[in-house]
Amino acid sequence: MERKAVDWWVGIFVLLGLAALVVLALRVGNLADLGTRGGYPIVATFDNVGGLKVKAPVKMGGVPVGRVQSISIDPQSYLAVVRMEIEPGIKLPTDTGASIYTAGLLGEQYVTLEPGGSPDYLKPNGRISLTQSAISLEQIIGQFLYSKAAETPASPGSQAGGEGL
Amino acid sequence: MPGQPRKPQSWDAIPRFGHWLLEVLANLGTSTRFLLLVLAAVFQRHFSLRQLSLQVYAVGVLSLLLMVVAALFTGMVLGFQGYNTLVRFGAEESLGTVVALSLVRELGPVLTALLFAGRAGSALTAEIGLMKTTEQLAAMEMMAVNPFAWVVAPRLLAGVIAMPILAAIYNVVGVWGGYLIAVPLMGVDEGAFWSQMQANVSLYDDILSGMIKSLCFGLVVTWIATWQGYRSEPTAEGVGRATTRTVVGSALAVLALDFVLTALMF
């Protein structure tokens, strides 16, 4: 093999390796975010986002219409601020509601939008005010166990205390 | 085994084991001395960059196609198997995490090293063994040229350079293979595939540890390959046996070292 050809191949090989490392760091690892495909941003604040992740799907009637862009905390109200990017063709009424749901029992969490009936549409960077937080499975189980414990008559003396719940 | 072939008898077992053990220890000692001499030659740098580039071409670029094809199939199999298991729990969105973590932490470094031992390691052993058979190494010594510096050092360094590069390419192609199965074929949500992967694969804990692993494997596999070539019997049969020993020895060494490194790092 000619000298120049070998040098070319070695150069390409090393560059490929470096490119692979960059892809691993940026795309597979958690170093930087992936660019999104255009669209307009909207913002929603939640009390609790649960396990919602950046780039989780935003769905409307089960159809993906966007992605979660960033999740942060509002320093004034201490509420979770979720920035979403919505596909350009989809217009959302100003009274759209947003909820966080879980796909299956172990599945990932996603945002569901329920459009309202307002004649006005949300502008880019518009804020959704009607939100429903993620359902915390632990809280539900906790409440269920608590109410069960209150129902069962443990002893005649404790019956009165249980009624209050 | 040296000595006259005798009928094996039951009381022979213990002294034979002792003899074997001594041989293993002697091999360990001489091969370590060999490695130290080569490392010294690497740091003195008597070889030219040109030689190093030729060796990187021989062990790295020529192994690239094998790695890419193997990585693609590994990733696709991981995609299928992971999907079949995860879909029972409705957790197929975690497929990205499963594919990426298995590749980056284990399969990438280990399978690259095993394939590298078969493709490049055996070629290295055969090449150096042939140099010995044709008395090129002896001729070098006659001319006061250090064969460690001229023959072994650039090959060892090339192996250490090429292995992490190959592993990184292997990982990327493998993840892409898993993606091909997961998203277009099985219909896993694309955003979930990548976001779950990004959320759960850490740059320092997973990717960097995997790279450190493959660096160690690169050193060990090229060490074994060059050492087996260097000590091979100068006959056609001896070179053949040395090549086999390279593949078997480096495969076992990689698997054992992988266990140790995993226990240390994760």
pLDDT tens by residue, B9-30? 667 888 889 999 999 999 899 9
Give the CA radius of gyration of chain A.
Answer: 25
Say how many residues make up chain A. 165
pTM for this prediction: 0.72
Say which of B57, B171, B192 has its CB closest to residue A108. B192
Q: Do B201 and A29 touch (CB under 8 A)?
A: yes
Joined together, the tokens standing for residue B188 give: 């896993």
In this model, does residue B52 exceed pLDDT 80?
A: yes
Residues in chain A with CB shorter than 8 Å from the CB of B206 are 29
Interface check A22 vs B, CB under 8 A? no
pLDDT the model gives residue B102: 93
Q: Are A119 and A95 in contact (CB under 8 A)?
A: no
pLDDT higher for B89 or B161? B161
Q: What are phi and psi of B38, to 5 degrees?
A: -65, -40
Q: What is the pLDDT of residue A3?
A: 76
Pairwise CB contact (< 8 Å): A24 & B93: no
Is B146 exposed, middle or buried, given 0-12, 13-18 or 19+ CB atoms closer than 10 A?
middle
pLDDT, tens only, A128-147: 888 888 777 777 888 888 88
Per-residue pLDDT, averaged over A42-69, amounts to 85
**pLDDT score at A69:** 86
Give domain limits for chain A: 1-32, 40-136
A20 and B104: CB-CB below 8 Å? no
Q: How far is B17 from chain A (nearest CA, A)?
A: 46
Q: Where are the alpha helices (DSSP H) in chain B?
A: 13-44, 49-56, 62-86, 95-101, 108-116, 122-133, 136-142, 147, 153-180, 190-200, 209-231, 236-265
